[in-house]
Chain A
Amino acid sequence: MPIKELKIDNENELTIQRLLHAKHYELTLTRTLCVGCEICKTICPREAIDVKKQPKQQGQKTQRPIIDVNPQKCTYCGMCEPICPFDAIRVNVNGQHLVSVVEKESFPRLIHEIEVDASKCSLDCVECEKACPLNLIKVALLTPEGKQLPHEKLKTYSDRNDLKVQVNILKEQSPCCRLCEVKCPEGAIHVRKIFHGVLDINVEKCPPNCQDCLDVCPIPSALFLNSDGKVYPNAAFCVFCGACKIVCPADGALVMERRSVYHTPIKSGAWNKAIEKLTSTREYSKESQTKRAAKVQQSIERKSLLKGVENA
């Protein structure tokens, strides 16, 4: 049979498939996790991903941009899966989860560094669970036998000192906004941001009564509505996804730039190109300079090794 390229699109999921007689490729985008940012589109080497602004309804909140993937252009390289901070994309080959670029070390994984020292948690505290804007945290109380005790039963439980707090965080889906870290009264959580950068709003350029960026932002504290009716940024919580940039109607009002990415160590030309696209070129050249220096060093070592072999 000839190659079949299919797209199945509904509210909850977008699936594209490339079906060959002897091999099946599938890419699934979970729309409930996707925030409509621009990160996957930015790094796609084949420009197969498109982000479309939703038309604005009068008097309604601005809708999140919709991601579309072109099944003819996608080569199922898998770069979009590890780069998505919200873990919204899954690539499968022949029904098995396989991200070839990560397997072959052509692309790094983002490091979602979130550590919880549950020993510091008080038994009735669920602040982190309340704070997480993406509902990724579930606080559980465990009995010595390991059974879970619902929080309502805490008041009436006898041996409170035997209970342990367990904080379950879906780390892979977390863009590391640090809200939980800040809201934790005991300082039990440590989060390191994935993306660092600059977020700024030139409020004089904002159209009156416009809060499009606020409407689509996945982290409600990164942008907030001030008393003067304008939206102001709080870069401390911003995850630098870029959804706001897509919907901002005013040129130059919103400035969002990424400066660095926290990722597993990697040596790959594809990653160099991706970083260049995600951040500004200046940062890329800084990162590549350090890599180049290492390469030159290796090359010298290799040559002197060979020389040594020749002279021997």
Chain B
Amino acid sequence: MPEETARVGVFVCHCGLNIAGVIDIKALVEYAKTLPYVAFAGDNRYSCADPGQEQIRKEIRENKLNRVVVAACSPRMHEPTFRKCISSEGLNPYYYEMANIREFSSWAHGSMPKEATEKAKDIVRMAVAKAVLLKPLEVIEVPVTNQALVVGGGIAGINAALDLADMGFKVYLVEKSESIGGHMAQLDKTFPTLDCSICIEGPKMVDVNRHPNITIISNADVVRVDGYVGNFKVKVRKNPRYVIAKNCTGCGECRDACPIEYPNEWDMNMGVRRAISVPFEQAIPLIYTINMDYCIECYKCVDACGAREAINFEQRPEEIELDVGAIILATGFDIYMPTDDPLYGYGKYDNVITALEFERLILAAGPTGGKVLRASDGKKPHSVTFIQCVGSRDVNKYEYCSGFCCMYALKDAILLKEKYKDDVEVHLMYIDMRTNFKGYEEFYRRARDLGIDFIRGKASQVLEDQKTKNLYIRAEDMSLGEPIEIESEMVVLCTAAIAKDDSADVARVFGISRGSDGFFMESHPKLKPIDTPTDGIFVAGACQGPKDIPYSVAQGSAAASRAATILSKPKVKIEPIIAVVDQKTCQNTRVKCGICEKVCPYGAAKAPEKQPALVTPAMCHGCGTCVAECPTDAIAQMHFTDAQIMSQIHAALETNPQETILGFLCNWCSYAGADLAGTSRFEYPPNLRPIRVMCSGRVDRDFVLEALRLGAGMVLVAACHLPYDCHYISGNVWMTKRMTALKGMLEKLGMSPERLRIDYVSAAEGVKFAALIKELADQMNALGKDRIMAENAKLKPIIEKMLARKKAEIPVAVAAPAPKS
């Protein structure tokens, strides 16, 4: 048996003072030496740095180590680092296990060093127990389709597409609306250069249209994404324009003949467009579209089109499938429309508008031909006030700062002043002036020099004069220290940049997460701002967080480069943490089973009639749901086998099980949320002993039963939020079904209901995780040790009977540690 020859090396990291400042490193190292199969135990200041890694390699050589445990930070942080490290010394990278004693111990229990050290010892013990049973795994290689998909045709998406296309890759650019260009194309001028926006973006849009490697698929939605990195299959639905793209020359005669007008969203609903029209004159692709909600089917457009015959009322939605190797999401942002805000009167008072509406007024191609006019009387305003931070930096609405509003407010104020000069009085009410990039501070100076009146103080209320429709703005002028009221003929609200309202659907289709502010979540905010936790999918531009144009352009190019690291290689490596069926044990040959096929969301598990089930390795994403659901335990998940997890359970419950909360945390959400609790230093009681699984779907009933049999106080199974957040689509759904049924049964057998807790924590919910553990600890204390032991004693014989059929080896070789003297 492999564990007889296991030689484990334990390396405890100081992580500077992050760990060493709380945990007694010496005691921990001494403890590790006492564990079975540990051939070496040592410590290091920074294990991840070169000297630390060098030490690990040295000890592997000198002590002939064949398993390595590093007790340090989160495996989500550095597992790849140390796997690379040991493989460079000739050891299979999957012989590595991480003991997270930073996020889960030193950082979460900073004020309880003794308890933190005890918890760290347990975590190390659990890691060693699993390490002993680890098996070598070989990485799977799959071929790469060297085509890319860019979702979203704004300035970030355009740049990503152009860069990839110039590198030689074929790019599909899918855009939801009728034209590419995004919000940048709606603007008049861009800060700080005051370049005309469409003048600089237009040529890029034309380049995209003309590039032989780029195919624009506009007026289309992505409905489904299957596959994995290097091999995505994307279903796109092209929505009907009722115009045949090949035949349309963009002449516009149909538009001239059309009698119906409707509000133009592109013009912020301030102007109109015809039932058959393009959203704006420089639309790319220049193909007209009929809006069937308004068309009265008079067919005047058909007559006007004549011999070109470009109009087809019979057009239906068309679904196409794209094969791509990498996907870039550049879906952009939306502007907060403050119709629900009672303070500023937007929607109530005619002369209160948002900044994007102002942009469409002052733009020459806008609905008023470039004249800034009041809605109430169509006259030019003699005074305009800009109000900053409407909805942003607001605990009642959006807590974050939207980043570019100070700059665009300055831009709009400067444009207004330069257009109407002394005819207009411009006030700007702000909290802070955030002008922090190249040329931005100088831009602010320019605004001041033009005589724009800056009032430092957030506006608290806007009221209207019924007769003149002028507005009275109340604020506290911080410089004067007094409340003021100014009268203005027009008010422009600089509203927050928010995540697009369909971003939840987009996140679900692509299988990525969103942060608490609604924008797409990157792998790491500092070091991996373009990657998402899903391999092969990248984010660029404002969909990741509000940003200005140069930043979006830079991210577009960055995403192209990241995507190219996959597309430029003929093969990509897939992690071998997959499910494997033991064909002898599978019962599908004897009875009609097929449970694994039913629960697999990727179609990787198939159970053909009368034959043993089979899992296609390249399609398996490694959630482990089939593993937990298999009634005969015929399926094993590599690197997360039943034996390995059972050994962790045993190790966790060796000392004081009645005061232990055994937690099964899923890698993508709840484990990450727990990491965040630690990173944020939210303290919670030290009773938790965590076991990481890739997906909550992996948590077998037998794990919970074994934990109770060994005397556990509480068991927690934490997953991604229902119904859509599971990284593996439905793992959390099956877990909930399974655990709810188990909980009902255990309650009937006499277990207090709070002792098995099923809960949902997302990667952004550090606060919730800490609160959850506190609640569980409080409940456990309320029940009391005696009651828990009594319940466990009653359950034990029943559980032992239920587990008798389990064939997984529960290694007895992991002996209890010698009692401390």
| Interfacial residues, chain A to chain B (CB-CB below 8 A) | 1-3, 18-23, 45, 75-79, 100-101, 103-107, 267-271, 273, 302, 306
Contacts and interface: CB of A to CB of B under 8 A. Distances in A.
Nearest to B313: A269
Contact of A1 (B298, B347, B368): B347
Nearest to A102: B259
A41 to B, nearest CB: 16
Contacts of B298: 101, 104, 106-107, 268-271
Main secondary structure of the interface of A (DSSP, over half): loop
Interface in B234-263: 257-263
A106 B300 contact: yes
B259 A104 contact: yes
B373 interface: yes
Nearest to B303: A267
A21 B377 CA distance: 10
A28 to B, nearest CB: 18
Contacts of A18: 263
A270 B373 contact: no
A3 B263 CA distance: 8
A20 B347 contact: no
A20 B259 contact: no
Closest 4 CB pairs of A and B: A21-B270, A106-B298, A270-B298, A104-B259
B348 to A, nearest CB: 9
Residue among A19, A79, A101, A106 with most chain B CB within 10 A = A106
Main secondary structure of the interface of B (DSSP, over half): loop
Contacts, number: 94
A273 B300 CA distance: 14
B259 A75 contact: no
Nearest to A44: B296
Given A1-B347, A1-B350, A104-B259, A20 B296 contact: no
B297 A273 contact: yes
A270 to B, nearest CB: 4
Contact of B269 (A20, A45, A100, A101): A20
Interface in B348-364: 349-353, 357, 361
B142 interface: no
B300 A104 contact: yes
Contacts of A2: 269, 337, 339, 346-347
Given A1-B346, A21-B361, 4 more contacts: A1-B270, A22-B375, A75-B261, A269-B296
Given A2-B339, A3-B269, A103 B351 contact: no
Contacts of B268: 21
B299 interface: yes
A268 B300 contact: yes
B368 A22 contact: yes
B274 to A, nearest CB: 10
A22 B271 contact: yes
Contacts of A79: 296
Contacts of B296: 45, 77, 79, 101, 106, 269-270, 273
B529 interface: no
Contact of B260 (A21, A100, A268): A100
Interface in B331-390: 337, 339, 346-347, 349-353, 357, 361, 367-368, 373, 375
A104 B373 contact: no
A23 B271 contact: yes
B401 interface: no
B264 to A, nearest CB: 9
A1 B258 contact: no
Contacts of A302: 307
A100 B347 contact: no
Contacts of B357: 1, 21
A270 B297 contact: yes
A1 B352 contact: yes
Contacts of A22: 270-271, 367-368, 373, 375
A302 B308 CA distance: 13
Contacts of B20: none
B618 interface: no
B272 interface: yes
Given A1-B352, A268-B298, A270-B297, A101 B259 contact: yes
A25 B316 CA distance: 32
B294 interface: yes
A269 B270 contact: no
Nearest to B306: A302
A181 B478 CA distance: 81
Nearest to A94: B378
A100 B272 CA distance: 14
Nearest to B271: A22
Contacts of B361: 21
Contacts of B351: 1
Residue among A3, A22, A268 with most chain B CB within 10 A = A22
Contact of A23 (B258, B272, B299, B303): B272
A175 B339 CA distance: 46
A21 B300 contact: no
B7 to A, nearest CB: 71
B755 to A, nearest CB: 54
Contacts of B303: 267
B627 to A, nearest CB: 53
27 contacts: A1-B270, A3-B263, A20-B270, A20-B272, A20-B367, A21-B271, A21-B353, A21-B357, A21-B367, A22-B271, A22-B373, A23-B271, A23-B272, A23-B367, A45-B296, A79-B296, A100-B260, A100-B261, A101-B259, A103-B259, A106-B259, A106-B300, A107-B259, A267-B303, A268-B298, A270-B296, A306-B307
A137 B806 CA distance: 101
A168 to B, nearest CB: 33
A197 B257 CA distance: 33
Contact of A104 (B258, B367, B368): B258
Contacts of B353: 1, 21
B115 to A, nearest CB: 57
A104 B299 CA distance: 11
Nearest to A103: B259
Contacts of B367: 20-23
